[in-house]
Structure 1
């Protein structure tokens, strides 16, 4: 067997945790328990997990507004995340970050970013620090197809090549930059080809296939960690929900989401593969499902019971400047 059972069970558990977490976040948002916006990553779990599963806590990732999955895949505490998303003072960022700004430096998660294309320059900085200090740590930035045309991202790609930085650029192409189709907005047939033009290795992968994505990421990680510079990956994936929860999605075709859930669900594809190969049993994965549901239920209960920030003591705490 090319993968040991502990690895496969960990991968499945993490993907399932992301899925159930996102589904519950949607439910709690609709119930009025989550302030602000929620951008769910249902359907994109395999990219997050395949990318992060072999990274250490000292490797750095930078995420996007759709960052819950990346945070969980990098090891952020699920209960602390739920509290943060609910704006509670005991959340990972003391309730000041919310859904789009989760960060945990102890886990190498330098932050989700509501600015499209905002994470890639930050990860260049982390990669430059690693190279300068000789730590052998790497940085991995996540961005959607919608970020790929941002000037900050194009500059980051070039900068990483010029300085030979240990930075992996992961582009999750879910077909839409908000409501604009990637086939219209990118202006090219292959984002992987365009990234290669900057002078770095670049690959395309089916992001609904955990195993294919994991193998590509392993090549990229080895390349960056060995001091050979940056690497780019275009992972074609699918977004089951709208750009944000409440998005009417009038830009999507009839039955598009229904067909995607039927044919392109990365968790279903993973289960089918490991069962077919005899690597895991349905009973093992079903048991994980039960445990994950219980964990998320606990997270919600603790989140709802957690205290709100105190405006008098918390408003100006942990800020850089006071006016």
Structure 2
């Protein structure tokens, strides 16, 4: 990692955290319609993986997709307007928080269906291979989705066809309110990879450097024609499954509960001469300004016209 990459990583992690903290505040004030699922605490996963991707690489996301979208380069202004249901949003206000997408950035969409991304990412992998492109598709999913049938179908099919797909499990320890330990017959999700003849890697999902190293190897493997990889990132979500969740199942003793991946990377970058204290402070300030600007953009955007109900539909 060089200094430029470190700056991008720290900038992105701060933008994700600030965006989500602002969304938390706005939702509580009634400024955001619908459901909101926040990514605070998981910044290292999206940032670590996306630090190695380009616009021509594809990702599929989850209902907790803001962090993925920001790290993939989706427009902050358009994202904020979208979750506010405004006309200038990335989906013209029709998708909201759970369906943020920007195809030009390779973000194939957040998904309100648990495990909904497996088929999309596998299909994207087929498309990339058939077009002879040197790119990859990444499927992000939670530990709850690992117990859905789509998980097994997606990994099995990707392995059979030797596709350039990377499956990234964000194990935040709770599938809504059910613990992974209770719901999974296997201790880890990563160990299931052997059933599908692919590597299964378990990493500290609060450590962006460790996530990035694992993703780098998986991307190189995919581009060398060696097929898919399953990466399990052990992480933690600061807030509930959704905004308004009382989080009764959580305790202060939960693994990773007292960690902040953004602060941990700041310390790492300074200690390794990748950032100075002053540079880190500047990045934090710029990220907060960018989010404040996005909020202003969303607030100034108009509500969609009623006629828009008849646009962007198939029939």
SS, match of residue 197 in structure 1: helix
Query: Separation in 1 of the partners of 2:134 and 2:282?
Result: 37
TM-score by length of 2: 0.98
Structure 1's 243 and 93: CA in aligned 2 closer, same or farther, altered over 3 A? same
Match of 1:273 among 268, 271, 283: 268
Indicate conservation of the 8 Å contact 2:57/2:135, yes or no.
yes
CA distance in 2, matches of 1:70, 1:281: 27
Aligned to 1:314: 308
Moved over 3 A (4+): 259-262
Match of 2:86 in 1: 88
Which residue in the other structure is 1:295 paired with? 290
**Separation in 1 of the partners of 2:256 and 2:164?**
34
Q: Which residue in the other structure is 2:138 paired with?
A: 140
Query: Is 1:246 matched up with 2:244?
Result: yes
- Following superposition, the deviation at residue 277 of structure 1 comes to 2.3
Alpha-carbon distance, 1:176 to partner: 0.4
2-side partners of 1:43 and 1:272: how far apart?
Answer: 16
Q: Once the 2 structures are TM-superposed, how far is the Cα of residue 196 of structure 1 from its aligned partner?
A: 2.4
2:2 paired residue number: 4
**Aligned partners of 2:214, 2:35: CA distance in 1, in Å?**
32
- Corresponding residue for residue 192 of structure 1: 190
Is the contact made by 1:47 and 1:208 (CA closer than 8 Å) also made in structure 2? yes
| 1:275 shift after superposition | 2.0
Aligned positions of 1:208-247 closer than 5 A: 208-247=206-245
Match of 1:50 among 45, 48, 51: 48
**Which structure 2 residue ranges, 5 or more long, are not aligned?**
none
Which of 115, 120, 124 is the equivalent residue of 1:126? 124
| Aligned equivalents of 1:261, 1:18: Cα separation in 2 | 18
Once the two structures are superposed, what CA deviation does each residue of 1:167-220 show, in whole Å capped at 9, x if it has no partner?
000000010000000011111112111122211111110011111110000000
- From 23, 26, 30, the equivalent of 1:25 is 23
Matching of residue 77 in structure 1 with residue 71 in structure 2: no
1:261 Cα deviation from its structure 2 partner: 5.3
Offset at residue 272 of structure 1 (A): 1.6
3-state DSSP of counterpart to 2:196: coil
Q: 1:268: Cα distance to partner?
A: 1.3
Task: State the distance in 1 between where 2:287 and 2:83 align.
Answer: 18
1:256 shift after superposition = 4.3
Deviation by residue 1:229-276 (Cα, 9 ceiling, x = unmatched)? 1111000001100000110011112x347x8453x2111111121222
Query: TM-score, normalization: structure 1?
Result: 0.95
Structure 1 unaligned residues grouped into runs of 5+: none
8 A contact 1:196–1:232 mirrored in 2: no
Work out the CA distance in 2 between the residues paired with 1:223 and 1:175. Answer: 28
Report the RMSD for the aligned CA atoms in angstroms: 1.1
Deviation per CA, 1:40-61, whole angstroms, max 9, x where unpaired? Answer: 0000001001111111111100
For 1:116, what is the secondary structure of its paired residue?
coil
Secondary structure of the 2:45 match is helix
Q: Tell me the residue number matched to 1:176.
A: 174
Contact preservation (8 Å) 1:240, 1:260: no
Partner of 2:97: 99
Distance 1:117 1:95, change over 3 A: same
